[in-house]
């Protein structure tokens, strides 16, 4: 393993690869020699990514659609000769008063954030087991700390953390590591939408303790931690939920 080329010869899938943390991760892992497929709903943003970095392959589709996931994972494994690393960053956020929220709105976060993580892992695990590879999921500071007016989102992220730890145990003897990052305060469209799209009447005093004290950080702060977890540098990390939030919850 050459320093700075930790992913040479590795086949990688990044969901949510068109924006924010997923995009920064796709670029970072490709820069370190990885053969990267970025998978996202947003075809225009994927095309812009491919323009910026022609080495990255892109596929448009939903990571919470069972058929699309099955086809994309199978095709990529055939094209790239297997799968070594799966990074699940696709995600959405919705704000609302818990007492007013419809079951559909609540479940939307669960279906996308948790459902896509499950579907991608399920489809990729046979290849990852063969490669003795690893998975990095997107938890959140809301996996462990209350996020008022974001109950559906927080519930989905708590479940992603529990899923990550359970899968890590299940595959402990089968050579697949499973970790998650728990970001907070990363400057992306998703984080911005909380500031601009918070439900009317939300009490900001309850929410403000979650704001990063030293300001929002760029997505590559998380991409670097994901690269560590997914590389040999993270070989002794398994079932870890790694908080990267500028110290908000220190
Ligand atoms: N930004 C933060 O501070 C922060 C904090 C904690 C956790 N996270 C998590 O990190 C992950 C990345 O978030 P981000 O901040 O980079 O957001 P982002 O909005 O910049 O990127 C999310 C991407 O996921 C894609 N996506 C959404 N639903 C999809 C689906 N069904 N199939 C495929 N792609 C889909 C979107 O098109 C978008 O490109 C998310 O899971 C988010 O919950 C972010």
In the chain, the number of structural domains is 1
Q: Kindly tell me if the per-residue pLDDT of 1 is higher than 70.
A: no
Q: Among 89, 142, 155, name the best residue to mutate to test ligand 1's pocket (greatest count of ligand atoms within 8 A of Cβ).
A: 89
Tell me which residues have their CB closer than 6 angstroms to ligand 1.
Answer: 15-16, 18-22, 40-42, 62-64, 89-92, 112-113, 116, 138, 140, 183-186, 188-191, 219
**Gap from CA of 162 to ligand 1 centroid (Å):** 19
Give the DSSP H or E segment for 88: strand 85-88
Residue 208 lies in a domain: yes
Parent domain of 195: 11-243
How many angstroms is it from 1 CA to the middle of ligand 1?
A: 30
Q: Which atom of ligand 1 is nearest to the CA of 142?
A: 6
Ligand 1 atom nearest to CA at 93:
43
Q: What would the two tokens of residue 137 be?
A: 């999921």
The token pair at 162 is 């529990």
CA distances from 86 to 15, 56, 57 (A): 8, 15, 14
Structure tokens at 88: 């699940």
Whole-angstrom Cα distance, residue 55 to residue 207?
41
> Beta 57-60 vs 85-88: how paired, if at all?
unpaired
d(CA 35, CA 101): 42
Q: Report pLDDT for 210.
A: 84
HSE of 144, CA atoms in CB hemisphere, 13 A: 18
5 is a domain residue = no
- Other CB atoms within 10 A of residue 171 CB: 20
Atom of ligand 1 nearest to the CA of 18: 39
Burial class (CB in 10 A: 0-12, 13-18, 19+), 239: middle
Partners of 39 in beta bridges: 15, 59
| Nearest atom of ligand 1 to the alpha carbon of 90 | 24
pLDDT at 139 over 80: yes
Q: What is the pLDDT of residue 240?
A: 98
Structural domain includes residue 157: yes
As a whole number of angstroms, the distance between CA 208 and CA 231 comes to 35
Give me the pLDDT at residue 2, please. Answer: 62
Tens-digit pLDDT profile for residues 217-248? 999 999 999 999 999 999 999 999 999 999 99
- Judge whether 209 lies within some domain: yes
Q: What percent of the chain has pLDDT over 90?
A: 90
- pLDDT, tens only, 5-53: 999 999 999 999 999 999 999 999 999 999 999 999 999 999 999 999 9
Global pTM value: 0.98
Ligand 1 pocket mutation pick from 16, 119, 246 by most atoms within 8 angstroms of CB: 16
248 belongs to a structural domain = no
pLDDT of residue 190: 97
Provide the total of helices (H) and of strands (E) in the chain, helices listed first.
9, 7
Residue 29 lies in a domain: yes
Does 171 participate in catalysis according to the annotation?
no
Cβ atoms of 153 and 93 within 8 Å: the answer is: yes
Residue 250 lies in a domain: no
pLDDT reported for residue 207: 84
Q: What is the pLDDT at residue 214?
A: 87
Contact 36, 29 (CB under 8 A): yes
Residue range 183-220, pLDDT digits in tens? 999 999 999 999 898 899 999 889 888 888 889 999 99
Q: Residue 231 is part of a domain; what is its CATH number?
A: 3.40.50.720
Helices 43-52 and 20-31: crossing angle in degrees, nearest 10, is: 30
pLDDT of residue 3: 61
Structural domain contains residue 52: yes
Torsion of CA 240, 242, 248, 250, to 10 degrees: 50
């Amino acid at each position: 393993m050459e320093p700075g080329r930790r992913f040479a010869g590795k086949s990688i899938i990044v969901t949510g690869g068109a924006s924010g943390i997923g995009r920064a991760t796709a670029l970072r892992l490709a820069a370190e020699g990885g053969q990267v497929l970025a998978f996202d709903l947003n075809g225009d943003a994927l095309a812009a990514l491919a323009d910026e970095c022609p080495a990255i392959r892109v596929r448009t589709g939903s990571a919470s659609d069972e058929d699309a996931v099955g086809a994309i994972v199978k095709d990529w494994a055939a094209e790239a000769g297997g799968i070594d690393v799966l990074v699940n960053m696709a995600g959405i956020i919705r704000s609302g008063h818990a007492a007013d929220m419809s079951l559909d709105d609540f479940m939307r976060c669960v279906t996308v954030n948790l459902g896509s993580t499950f579907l991608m892992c399920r489809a990729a695990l046979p290849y990852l087991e063969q490669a003795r590879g690893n998975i990095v999921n997107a938890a959140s500071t809301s996996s462990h700390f209350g996020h008022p007016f974001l109950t559906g989102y927080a519930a989905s992220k708590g479940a992603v953390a529990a899923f990550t730890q359970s899968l890590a145990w299940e595959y402990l003897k089968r050579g697949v590591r499973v970790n998650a990052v728990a970001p907070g305060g990363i400057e992306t469209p998703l984080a911005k939408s909380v500031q601009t799209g918070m439900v009317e009447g939300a009490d900001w005093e309850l929410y403000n303790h979650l704001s990063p004290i030293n300001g929002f950080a760029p997505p590559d702060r998380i991409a670097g931690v994901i690269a560590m977890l997914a590389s040999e540098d993270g070989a002794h990390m398994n079932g870890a939920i790694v908080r990267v939030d500028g110290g908000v919850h220190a």
